[in-house]
Amino acid sequence: MEEVKKEEELRKGDQNLMGNSGLLFDIPLMDLLAGQDFTPSLFELLSAAPPTTTLPPPSSAVPESSEVLNTPPTPNSSVSCSSNEKAFDADDGDLREKSPFNKQLKAKKKNQKRIREPRFAFMTKSEVDHLDDGYRWRKYGQKAVKNSPYPRSYYRCTTAGCGVKKRVERSSDDPSVVVTTYEGQHIHQSPIMPRGALTAAAAFASPQPPLVFPQPQYTYTPAPPVDVRFDAAFHSFGEERRRIEGSFQDHGLLQDMIVPSSALHIPEEE
DNA sequence: CGCGTTTGACCGGCGC
DNA sequence: GCGCCGGTCAAACGCG
Chain segment A243-264, per-residue pLDDT in tens: 433 433 333 333 333 333 333 3
**Alpha carbon distance A218, A28 (integer Å):** 28
Residue A103 has pLDDT above 80, yes or no: no
pLDDT at A185 over 60: yes
Q: How far is the CA of A144 from the C1' of C7 (A)?
A: 11
C strand bases under 7 Å from protein CB: 4-10
Burial of A227-256, coded b for 16+ CB within 10 Å and e otherwise, reads: bbbbbbbbbbbbebbbbbbebbeebebbeb
A266 has pLDDT over 50: no
With cut-offs at 50, 70 and 90, classify the pLDDT of residue A43.
very low
In this predicted structure, the answer to whether residue A242 has a pLDDT above a threshold of 70 is no
Residue nearest the C1' of C8 (CA based): A141
Of A72, A126, A160, A83, the C-alpha closest to A239 is: A126
Closest nucleotide to A116, Cα to C1': C7
For the full predicted model, state whether its pTM sits above 0.85. Answer: no
| Three-class secondary structure of residue A205 per DSSP | helix
Mutual orientation of helices A225-234 and A238-251 as an angle, nearest 10°?
A: 130
Q: Is the dihedral of CA A182, A184, A190, A194 positive or negative?
A: positive
Nucleotides of B under 7 A from a protein CB: 3-9, 11-15
Q: Are A172 and A149 in contact (CB under 8 A)?
A: yes
Superfamily of chain region A126-183: WRKY domain (2.20.25.80)
The integer distance in angstroms from the CA atom of A141 to the C1' atom of C13 is 15
